[in-house]
Structure 1
Amino acid sequence: MFVNGYFSDCSLLEVFQLLQDGKKTGLLSIQGLVSPDQVRPKYYYIWLHRGRIVTITTRLDSRGLAALISRRQYLSVTMMERLIRRCPIDEPLGRFLRSQGVLTKKQLKILFAAQVVGQIGELLYLPDGYCEFDQTALLPKVEMTGLSVGATDVILPGLRILKDWAAFKEQLPHPQSVLVSLIRGQPNVRINQAEWSVWRLMDENINLGQMATRLGLSLEQVQRIAFCLIFVGLAKEVPMMLGASEIAAIDAEVPGEERLAVRVPVSGVSEPGVSEPGVPVLGVSEPGVPETGGPNLGVPDAGVSDSELSDSSFPGSETEGESLSPSFFRNLLGFLRDAAKSS
């Protein structure tokens, strides 16, 4: 199977889905396209085994995991080099270090989350990139902890730890839109408490502004949660249908073309907040060990603090009103056309 091309043609999530469904083993190389403030492109190397991510690095010198261990002060550089020389070539380095009693199971989980979640967060920032999959590449045992995670299961934790949402501002769902589930039953990925709260309110056919009021969250925080659910394919944005009285009121107040710029007030937050665990949840497993729902890995990448992983750290501000954007009306027209065809 050939998996190569630009993210503008096939998103990172779609690439991961292809590799996971095909249970592919090999190396996915990603070159981030150069932006004006970059001197040279950055490369990411994602190794998979049977559709599960086993490690992510940005270097090919076989010292990415060793450097991470030393940076976290689990072992010295000298001790790491000595242990690497003793590690069997067919055994993941992390598993070997655990068998030698120098690293604990918890430390391995911390290292794996640091390897994977932070790098995925960086990849999501890329405006575009070129990816290529090599199924003949050998797995780098010296870069592996012995843990793995489903390729698509890392997207949502990666979104949760984004520091700067400016790149996604235009893609956030409109406050007057509603969310509609794209799946039957419960979500097929692990979601945190805040996401679950929004998920439950989808059945009540209320818009995002109303959700924010009901949950005691800022509008921007609910928009980001909704974006995450949409991004991973759990839900879609649908324009909320206005009643006859609301349409008449708008027609009476706003003449002609100016209706496209009508301001819609958003209610303030008044109800008690919903506390959240604020950790990325990954279904991490070890070979030969059955999965039990996966641990909570509230683990930052190097340079990412635990507090930055918390959903409650998302900055949010209440707004007095939002203009109905052209995309909102395009979605509304598309929805009405689909409804007319289905009837």
Structure 2
Amino acid sequence: MSLNGYFSDLSLPELCQLLQDGKKTGLLSIQGLDHAAQVSEQYYFIWLHRGRIVAVTKRLDSRCLANLIIKRRYLNSTMTGRLFRRCPPDEPLGRFLRAQGVLTTKQLEILFATQVMGQVCELFRLPDGYFAFDPSAPLPKSEMTGLSVVATEVILPGLRVLKNWSAFADQLPEAQSALVSLVRGQPHVRINQAEWAVWRLIDENITLGEIATRLDLAVEDVQRIAFRLIFVGLAQEIPAMVSEGEVADPLLTREAMQTQELSPSFFRNLIGLFRQVPKSS
């Protein structure tokens, strides 16, 4: 499945979620765009294997991971070059170096976090970007540590550093809406202190506005936190109840359906309901 377009049409979180859910393998190339300057030399290359991110680079010279190892002083350039040439072409470089005893598991984790988490978070600061997904691109073994991560683990830190929320303005849950948990027990993704504070208060009878008051936070901040929890599949928005002066009929007439504009939250909740329907045997 080839795919291309602009972040203004399909946001980066939505794109990553699409590739993750489809368990796609291939190369996602992104060019950062600054329409004011009309030119940008920001390029990012994200490789995925079965929907999981395995490597992120800014160049296609097959030397980014090796240079990062040297920069962090795990190995000198001479030893890195020698081992680089010895690495089998079908084995991730990081895994090979660990098997040789020259890198530890902890060092590989640090390299992966620097390579993937840090650079993907930069993407969330781009005003806009053009993307293209190539499912036929081979995996770059020389850029791979042997580790991988699901897209949602990367999206969440990215959304935390996002400053311009204009692309998601119409997707934020309403202040009068409530949240309900979609998981039992502890969250399956790591959340920060602010997200934990909101998570502990979510209840179908407590609106986001009330949560903001209890936590002494701006409503917009709580809406953004709620959006993050919704996007990674931890919570679901429950729209505000119909007021007494409005018609509470859940079935719209044909004329009403043709004229009423349904909110984005309606579609998100509808998708959530379909996901909860058990598959037939």
TM-score normalised by the shorter chain: which range applies? 0.7 to 0.9
Question: Is this contact kept in 2: 1:28–1:46, CA < 8 A?
Answer: yes
Moved more, 1-10 or 183-192: 183-192
Alignment RMSD, CA only? 3.3
Distance 1:241 1:115 in 2: 48
Distance 1:224 1:72 in 2: 35
Alignment partner, residue 168 of structure 1: 165
Alignment partner, residue 177 of structure 2: 178
Question: What is the letter of the counterpart of residue 138 of structure 1?
Answer: P
Question: Is this contact kept in 1: 2:24–2:48, CA < 8 A?
Answer: yes
SS, match of residue 157 in structure 2:
helix
Question: What is the letter of the counterpart of residue 177 of structure 1?
Answer: Q
Distance 1:109 1:243 in 2: 56
Moved more, 12-21 or 55-64: 12-21
Question: Is this contact kept in 1: 2:173–2:227, CA < 8 A?
Answer: no
Alignment partner, residue 132 of structure 2: 132
Question: What's the CA shift for 1:240?
Answer: 8.1
Question: What is the letter of the counterpart of residue 123 of structure 2?
Answer: L
User: Judging changes above 3 Å, is the alpha-carbon distance between structure 1 residues 88 and 109 closer, same or farther for their aligned structure 2 residues?
Assistant: same
Percentage identity across paired residues of the two chains: 62
Q: Can you give the 5+ residue segments of structure 2 that lack an aligned partner in the other structure? A: 246-260, 270-281
Moved more, 133-142 or 207-216: 207-216
Alignment partner, residue 77 of structure 2: 77
SS, match of residue 88 in structure 1:
coil
TM-score by length of 2: 0.73
Alignment partner, residue 22 of structure 2: 22
Question: What's the CA shift for 1:148?
Answer: 0.7
Distance 1:331 1:214 in 2: 30
Distance 1:47 1:174 in 2: 32
Question: Is this contact kept in 2: 1:179–1:226, CA < 8 A?
Answer: no
SS, match of residue 56 in structure 1:
strand
| 1:112-158 C-alpha deviation (Å, 9 max, x unpaired) | 11111122212222333222111211111110000011233321122
Question: What's the CA shift for 1:100?
Answer: 1.6
Alignment partner, residue 301 of structure 1: none
Moved more, 191-200 or 61-70: 191-200
User: Judging changes above 3 Å, is the alpha-carbon distance between structure 1 residues 200 and 74 closer, same or farther for their aligned structure 2 residues?
Assistant: same
Alignment partner, residue 281 of structure 1: none
Question: What's the CA shift for 1:205?
Answer: 3.1
User: Judging changes above 3 Å, is the alpha-carbon distance between structure 1 residues 122 and 82 closer, same or farther for their aligned structure 2 residues?
Assistant: same
Distance 2:129 2:42 in 1: 10
Question: Is this contact kept in 2: 1:32–1:130, CA < 8 A?
Answer: yes
Question: What is the letter of the counterpart of residue 225 of structure 1?
Answer: I
Distance 2:63 2:70 in 1: 10
User: Judging changes above 3 Å, is the alpha-carbon distance between structure 1 residues 126 and 231 closer, same or farther for their aligned structure 2 residues?
Assistant: farther
Q: Can you give the 5+ residue segments of structure 1 that lack an aligned partner in the other structure? A: 245-329, 339-343
SS, match of residue 125 in structure 1:
coil
Distance 1:98 1:188 in 2: 28
Question: Is this contact kept in 1: 2:175–2:209, CA < 8 A?
Answer: yes
Question: Is this contact kept in 1: 2:178–2:204, CA < 8 A?
Answer: no
Question: Is this contact kept in 2: 1:33–1:126, CA < 8 A?
Answer: yes
User: Judging changes above 3 Å, is the alpha-carbon distance between structure 1 residues 216 and 40 closer, same or farther for their aligned structure 2 residues?
Assistant: closer
Question: Is this contact kept in 2: 1:5–1:132, CA < 8 A?
Answer: yes
Question: Is this contact kept in 2: 1:25–1:48, CA < 8 A?
Answer: yes
| 1:20-76 C-alpha deviation (Å, 9 max, x unpaired) | 233222111112223325752411111111111100111111111122222222222
Distance 2:69 2:238 in 1: 42
Question: What is the letter of the counterpart of residue 149 of structure 2?
Answer: V
Question: What is the letter of the counterpart of residue 179 of structure 2?
Answer: V
User: Judging changes above 3 Å, is the alpha-carbon distance between structure 1 residues 63 and 21 closer, same or farther for their aligned structure 2 residues?
Assistant: same
TM-score by length of 1: 0.61
Q: How does 1:256-271 map to 2 (within 5 A)?
A: none
Matched, 1:211 2:211: yes
Moved more, 235-244 or 225-234: 235-244
Distance 1:240 1:62 in 2: 55
Alignment partner, residue 226 of structure 1: 226
Question: What is the letter of the counterpart of residue 177 of structure 2?
Answer: V
Distance 1:74 1:241 in 2: 61
Alignment partner, residue 104 of structure 2: 104
User: Judging changes above 3 Å, is the alpha-carbon distance between structure 1 residues 196 and 75 closer, same or farther for their aligned structure 2 residues?
Assistant: same
SS, match of residue 16 in structure 2:
helix
Alignment partner, residue 147 of structure 2: 147
Question: What's the CA shift for 1:2?
Answer: 2.5
SS, match of residue 132 in structure 2:
strand
